[in-house]
């Protein structure tokens, strides 16, 4: 039977590209969306193969994570989890008002860190049964930091750190953990922050272009192969040689 994978935030952008790439390789996809149902339907309609399904969950509420896994696994085995859903909320750390700061702190960590952690906990028995894997989509700024996006960078750093720790702790349970750390990727979310400085951004990327969602999908595909399993704990940079650590 074809392997089955849940990709969160897969109605558009990197998540949609990952879903499409995995479907072309024979996976059955559990396509998750938060609010973009029409885009999720379009994503599934464009996937090759069969057996793909759509699931909704508002991951700004981490308490919804376990219910999402319960619904996905009620429909079949789960071989892999790709934690892709994320939010980017730039802000002036010192100047932001208390209410807006608190809202950004809660939303950023709920979606980018706490929900992925709770998804992993809920999925773990199923992944262990399948000797499965988790891919966490982090960010370059989780390593290098970024002014004006301190909360986002911190949430991604936390995701990278827990990827490493769980790779160690859960290796005896035969679940592998991987991270991806894209730099600038040409997605709708990124365009909101780059439209006025595209030339400046490209000057920092030796390869001369931003990553595409397909670049990220190729890395996710590789990490879910059996050949990558001994790399458990690694986070792979996708940044066009623009940053090393």
Q: What is residue 189's predicted lDDT score, i.e. its pLDDT?
A: 59
| Extents of the domains making up the chain | 4-237
pLDDT average, residue stretch 209-234:
97
Neighbours of 107 (CB within 10 A): 15
Give the model confidence (pLDDT) of 63-73 as tens digits.
999 999 999 99
Q: What is residue 25's predicted lDDT score, i.e. its pLDDT?
A: 98
Percent of the chain past pLDDT 90, that is, above it, reads 93
For the 4-237 domain, the top CATH level (class) is: alpha beta
For residue 192, pLDDT over 90 is answered with no
For residue 1, pLDDT over 90 is answered with no
For residue 75, pLDDT over 70 is answered with yes
Of 27, 33, 55, 152, which residue is the catalytic one?
A: 152
Q: What is residue 78's predicted lDDT score, i.e. its pLDDT?
A: 98
- Say if residues 228 and 218 touch (Cβ distance below 8 Å): no
Give the Cα separation of 237 and 140 in Å (integer).
7
pTM of the model: 0.96
Give the model confidence (pLDDT) of 140-166 as tens digits.
999 999 999 999 999 999 999 999 999
Q: What is residue 165's predicted lDDT score, i.e. its pLDDT?
A: 98
Q: What is residue 101's predicted lDDT score, i.e. its pLDDT?
A: 98
User: Is 152 in the active site?
Assistant: yes
Element (H, E) at 80: strand 80-83
Give the model confidence (pLDDT) of 32-50 as tens digits.
999 999 999 999 999 999 9
pLDDT level of residue 193 (50, 70, 90 thresholds): low
Give the Cα separation of 113 and 156 in Å (integer).
7
Percent of the chain past pLDDT 70, that is, above it, reads 97
pLDDT level of residue 191 (50, 70, 90 thresholds): low
pLDDT level of residue 3 (50, 70, 90 thresholds): very high
Mean pLDDT of the chain: 96
81 to each of 58, 89, 239, how far by Cα in Å? 17, 24, 23
Token duo for residue 162: 């827990």
């Amino acid at each position: 039977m074809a392997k089955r994978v849940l990709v969160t935030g897969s109605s558009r952008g990197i998540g949609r590209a990952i879903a499409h790439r995995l479907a072309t390789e024979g996976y059955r996809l559990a396509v998750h969306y938060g609010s973009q149902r029409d885009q999720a339907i379009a994503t599934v309609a464009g996937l090759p193969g069969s057996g793909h399904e759509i699931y909704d969950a508002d991951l700004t509420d981490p308490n919804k994570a376990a219910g999402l896994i319960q619904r996905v696994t009620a429909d079949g085995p789960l071989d892999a989890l790709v934690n892709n859903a994320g939010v980017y909320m730039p802000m002036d750390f010192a100047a932001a008002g208390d209410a807006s700061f608190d809202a950004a702190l809660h939303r950023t960590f709920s979606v980018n860190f706490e929900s992925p952690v709770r998804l992993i906990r809920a999925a773990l028995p199923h992944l262990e049964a399948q000797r499965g894997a988790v891919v966490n989509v982090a960010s370059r700024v989780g390593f290098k930091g970024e002014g004006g996006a301190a909360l986002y960078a911190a949430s991604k750093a936390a995701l990278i750190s827990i990827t490493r720790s769980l790779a160690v702790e859960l290796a005896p349970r035969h679940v592998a953990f991987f991270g991806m750390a894209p730099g600038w990727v040409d997605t709708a979310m990124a365009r909101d922050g780059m439209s006025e400085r595209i030339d400046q951004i490209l000057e920092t990327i030796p390869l001369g272009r931003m990553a595409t969602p397909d670049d990220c999908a190729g890395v996710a595909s590789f990490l879910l192969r059996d050949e990558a399993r001994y790399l458990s704990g690694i986070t792979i940079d996708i940044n066009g040689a623009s940053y090393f650590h």
